[in-house]
Structure 1
């Protein structure tokens, strides 16, 4: 690698992984997407003669970024700037924060992480539903779910819908809302922005509310926008989530399942899902099912998805009937 040539971000990542060694690198790989792993692997394989000096430089830069991020997490950008300036001087601290801003995004309303749900609720409950939806879409899903649960019942579905259909929001609008809430909470905030809202956002929020609130919101949405409500329901629980059920609930679901659906659904399931299913049936039934899956010929993906959807529908029906319980962030613990 030419010493004078400026390294790209992917090259730096590849050098860092090489420097960390195979054990640590493999752990990092597990946190990446398949596409990211592919890009990094190709880059690593193309590297030649990386000098110790180059490795030290990349590791040092990574350490500085991690250090700056640590201070931001503890007290925001202003706090990080003060600490880094005292430790490394103004010039070096400025460089570190610039590198951090180039590699990391600090979400709007990040300051709200230090406020509890009750405080935020107090300040936003009388705002316009669109403003409330904007704030909730940026909060931690569990905290957003707690706040949504405490809002008036007649506004919950409207706010949930607004989060689900939210697309890009003007940075000026975000900044204005952010500054108002920031003043009320007397906290610090960054000017970096990222995308918020969408179906996945409201799904995460609803997974943090209690079952009663979720049902009220989805039932109301079902009247206002049936297609959206069904889309949200489908994403609230997917086949792979079956592992979160307790053993008795899984056994109850298995009794309701068509054997062909079960066989097809497990064809491409993860090892964790297969193990969870097999351990909740008799040894003989588990062995037979495993053999049938192994002997199964080519199957269309559409058929597998349909079988998994049928099983998810059974789980939903049993939950609605109160025969099984899906653990949710806002639910009380049942013993």
Structure 2
């Protein structure tokens, strides 16, 4: 009878593959069949559709052949550029990874709206802000509402209002025009240069100056102000120093700091604090238990005055700990005033 198999003789490799797939699925094993090319998936479905019954000796013969081939396999590769990029991962340089990703993007058709939907709201807002309000409105009208709302929330108020108003005029836009807009926006995303640094200049400079000696920090800021006053101000706001702690740290978050920083470091920073940093010392002591504050005051009084280098190293350790706690989501530093 058609589809009834009683011998392994004459079975094609495709039919044997169909038998193995049926067996594995019957055992509850999940197979990544979706990773196969569509043509192979179709062929597999055709083969399975043509089968009805296979006797036990034939099944055993097919399984034994399959297991024998598995045992002969020495090394498996992921197959395709997607798999190669995933395999090499962090071993690739940023430039090479970007070039390979661009090659992959060019080699396969991509739904532009799916690509746009996957972007961070700020990145999507920046992309649309470079377009006319009408183009931005068409894109937001086409994207899922939650994606559009998040991107609209990242735009400045006046611009967001212009785009929102333009959305009301998108109903008559022909589908072909919408498709061209989606393709153009997706192309701009793919062709955007890969940035070497994720953080803006002022944040990177601020992180460096956080740990720099006070004299070096002041000298750099002064020199920067003479050449680029706007950048100097942004860098100054990005810096977190020991003196900034009362303004930037919520009193309730002090416990996280004292739990993270070793007590000798805290004592060194407070014992060496000058007039500028005294308010921070009082902020720390006044926001902990009276018993612990009294103990620290006693140890500060007993400690010999630390050197400038020791004091600055201790203060840098404390500010670095605050940055680490913020990055871990344990605290939230307040924005600097002014």
TM-score (norm: length of structure 1): 0.33
Name the larger-Rg structure.
2
Q: Which has the higher contact order (CA 8 A, sep 6+)?
A: 1
